[in-house]
A and B are shown apart, each in its own frame.
Chain A
Amino acid sequence: MTDYETHRYDVVVIGAGGAGLRAAVEAKSRGLSTALVCKSLLGKAHTVMAEGGVAAAMGNVYPEDNWQVHFRDTMRGGKYLNHWRMAQLHAQEAPDRVYELEAWGALFDRTPDGRITQRDFGGHRYARLAHVGDRTGLELIRTLQQKAVSMDIDVFMECKVLRLLQDASGTVTGAVGYWRPSGEVVVFEAKAVVLATGSIGRCFTYTSNSWESTGDGHAMAIWAGADVIEMECVQFHPTGMVWPLSVRGLLVTEGVRGDGGALKNSEGRRFMFDYIPEMFRAETAETEEEADAWYDDHINNRRTPDLLPRDEVARAINAEVKAGRGSPHGGVYLDIATRRSAEYIRRRLPSMYHQFLELAGVDITVEPMEVGPTCHYMMGGVRVDPETQASTVPGLFAAGEVAGGMHGANRLGGNSLSDLLVFGRRAGMGAADFAEGRTGEATVDAAQVDAVVADALAPLGRDGGESPYELHQQLQHTMQSLVGIIRTGSELEEALERLAELKERCAKLSVGGGRAYNPGWNLATDLPSMLTVSTAVAQGALARKESRGAHTRDDFPGPDPELGKVNFVQRQTDERGFAAPIHIAPEPLPEMPAELKELLEEGH
């Protein structure tokens, strides 16, 4: 029998980034007992890294903007693989969520007449991103954190959740995890659980993600029998730092291009003009003059190709480097120094300025930056009901990056922070409704807890096994080299073989030291999540025999109209858990109403 503490709540939210905080605020505002559980300290979640802004069609800069245009941009950016209803709700509700943040104390940058100002970003027809310089994510998380604290929400910081607990019918009864400072086990009994665990970036070598992004929520949902979709759709942000190596992958905000920065190759050519895809040709500038004029006048000029959706730009950079026109450290140049004044750059992009100056010794007001693609965002995730964010497992909800459907095959910049707010709130409402409607207390099964804890503790008692750092490094190498930005069938098959082997080795890890704040052991407990989601990503990538959005297949270079009508759904059926197989099958996308289809077909 394991010794553990038990906490009973109506709603338990796992993850305290933007989505988790917003969900907890919503559940608590309904008067329900609510807990927020996070792997790090409160306020440190990966949301702080979001730079550019929150996309919301408020129309403060371009009155022509409205939810219909935002919906259309989102669907086109996602190559129509998005769940139409999520994209619609998102576009309709994002402005209210931004104004709500303002009423909770957020201080967004202003227009001359005192309203929230908005900036340009890739794939958005109009200047649409509400922002605070280039630290919008920090503003968002701090505002929500302060709101949550003022509501007296119980926060379990530095607490890692290992598994969801379920009753015989499959309904979620809670979760089990451990306190990282002490290593002691903690059990939550919950009427409803919201997953808001963010991304999977740590499965790759070069990523903009922090150590927390190990796909815990994706994996726990799979192990609980929930459907996940679009796992093949992993976004590589086109502009990560490439030098020094120690910061390779660190994000360079799209705001640099939104504020006038241009991509150039080693010959000084603005190469993006050579990579305008047919789908975006009508709305993209063909000359540098038109592109540069667009910054000040969106009505009479077409947008610069530097701000094509991220999948297009990442592939273009990749191709330039491959053709030998890259920068000395294997990226391309991003130049804002010759295009904007030093004062403007420092005011609009203060953290980029400091990041390059302090970490790379590069003054971006004088020199160009060197940038290249970095694993950034997970479009795929738990299949949810758009209205409530309910998963296919009763009592389990998901919001933010761990949920799938909203962004289709490729997310537009700025649509992530708005996604967190819109669907974080909806998940909180959905979980609250479920908790209120649930009869009786959720009671966990002690045997389930014992089994999970025994597995988690095993590496500490084992001698002579492999180091978790070694295994993690090999996992990252496998994903980076075989399931990266450009994929091919034979390599994906090889990746799946290697992942199967790594899974076997994962069951034999050894860790020295004790349970108290032991990062080696913590990593050992994150590895099962990473291996499960990596397997799902590779399986999805192998199944989708086409190139669509962020998913690019060398052996199937074009889109396949038939595959554009399906999601690849993955789930565990009879056998569940880390060792069990994940089944995959295509299922038709939900049918879009005719009036929304018309929006997609309109010329603008």
Chain B
Amino acid sequence: MTDAMPAPTAPEADPVAEPAAHAQDAPLSTLETVPAAPEEETVTLRVWRGDASGGDLVDYTLPANEGEVVLDVVHRIQATLAPDLACRWNCKAGKCGSCSSEINGMPRLMCMTRVDELPEGPITVTPLRTFPILRDLVTDVGFNYEVARRVPAFTPAPAPPGGYRMQQVDVERGQEFRKCIECFLCQDVCHVIRDHEENKASYAGPRFFIRFAELEMHPLDTNDRRELVRQRMGLGLCNITKCCTEVCPEHIKITDNAIIPLKERAVDASYDPVAWLGRKILRRPKRSPDEAAAASPH
């Protein structure tokens, strides 16, 4: 699609702007693979192709286009050289988190990675390593959807007459975490599960720690999930290497603003002698993981 139209140099040549643009004048077929002429700039993608049974890196070389992102090149490969090359995408604007992959070994969104900002030479594109391969660049990210089902639902206090009131400064803490586009790059990079499949049963991962932090800091929520996140979601396994923060395309400060405060709160809930005394005096029993989890479907 991207190479379907010549670059609009004059307004007359612009098909969007020109109402009576006549299709006869433009070539109808512009998708044929044009072999790159020697003097022409080219781009080479080294793409992992295969399935659960195995696979290999395959090189695809195409003419380079100005301003393209890696996903554009993948689309051109699909349209010309490899129609069945599997890859997920939706919005192509960094807002849906579908086109996650590893580009030159770094977890990134293909739609937000410009070709011209990468080092010269072939660009290696491989699927997320933490999740099982479905095909080519597509992995089975079902793990994340399973964890989501174990997060106890938002449980607000009943609305007062005239509706809820919240201050902007209070909602902004949660809003930072709700910027999450669920690209799962943080899950992919997290070493607790990246190379340790066995940890997945007991570890929710950074994406869900920010979900827990968001609920914990939500001005209206009443459920207490601190014991749950400590005992069943593996919060203690995170040793704050901040890899998740580094790869987050939404620039959420996952470690500093979510995981560390969550760890502090969870520890407070369990071990703080003052809190313990407070609970004794006020007869407010600590919420057990089971009680907190009662609001989740599983």
Contact = CB atoms under 8 A, between A and B. Distances in A.
Nearest to A142: B178
A362 to B, nearest CB: 11
Interface in A289-332: 317-318, 321-322, 324, 326, 329-331
A278 interface: no
B16 A206 contact: yes
B164 A102 contact: yes
Interface string B2-16: 101101100101111
B235 interface: no
Given A108-B171, A477-B26, A481-B21, A149 B159 contact: no
A374 B17 CA distance: 10
B73 to A, nearest CB: 9
B282 interface: no
A474 interface: yes
B78 A149 contact: no
A44 interface: yes
Contact of A330 (B8, B178, B180, B220): B8
A243 interface: yes
B16 A110 contact: no
A146 B154 contact: yes
B23 A477 contact: yes
Interface in B30-79: 30-31, 51, 65-69, 72, 78-79
Contacts of B148: 146, 149
B281 interface: no
Given A41-B88, A243-B67, A360-B67, A474 B1 contact: no
Contact of A246 (B72, B85, B95, B182): B72
B1 A321 contact: no
A155 B146 CA distance: 12
Given A321-B11, A326-B17, A469-B79, A205 B5 contact: yes
Nearest to A181: B134
Contacts, number: 255
A114 interface: yes
Contacts of A485: 16, 19
Contacts of B80: 469
Interface string A469-495: 110011011101110111010010010
A537 interface: no
A135 B178 CA distance: 10
A358 B163 contact: no
B97 interface: yes
Contacts of A133: 175
B141 A41 contact: yes
A518 interface: yes
Interface stretch (A187-195, A383-391, A509-517): A509-517
A354 B179 CA distance: 13
A573 interface: no
B174 to A, nearest CB: 5
A413 B153 CA distance: 31
A325 to B, nearest CB: 8
B270 interface: no
Contact of A245 (B67, B151, B159, B215): B67
B68 A473 contact: no
Interface string A30-47: 000000000011111110
A322 B95 contact: no
Interface in B122-138: 134-136, 138
Contact of B95 (A42, A48, A114): A48
Interface in B163-222: 163-168, 171, 174-175, 178-182, 215, 218, 220-221
Contact of A99 (B112, B163, B166): B163
B271 interface: no
Nearest to A323: B11
B78 A115 contact: no
A21 to B, nearest CB: 14
Contact of B90 (A46, A139, A329, A468): A46
Contacts of B179: 135, 138
Given A43-B182, A138-B95, 14 more contacts: A40-B88, A44-B97, A103-B159, A107-B166, A115-B165, A138-B178, A242-B8, A246-B67, A470-B79, A481-B15, A488-B20, A513-B84, A517-B136, A520-B84
28 contacts: A44-B90, A49-B96, A110-B166, A115-B165, A138-B178, A147-B153, A150-B295, A205-B15, A210-B92, A211-B89, A242-B16, A246-B69, A329-B7, A330-B17, A351-B94, A355-B93, A355-B94, A374-B16, A469-B31, A476-B1, A477-B26, A481-B15, A481-B23, A511-B84, A516-B134, A519-B85, A520-B84, A554-B19
3 smallest beta-carbon distances between A and B, as pairs: A244-B67, A513-B84, A486-B19
Interface of A: 40-46, 48-49, 99, 102-105, 107-110, 112-115, 132-133, 135, 138-139, 142, 146-147, 149-152, 155, 157, 181, 205-206, 210-212, 242-247, 250-251, 317-318, 321-322, 324, 326, 329-331, 351, 354-355, 358-360, 372-374, 467-470, 473-474, 476-478, 480-482, 484-486, 488, 491, 494, 511-514, 516-521, 554
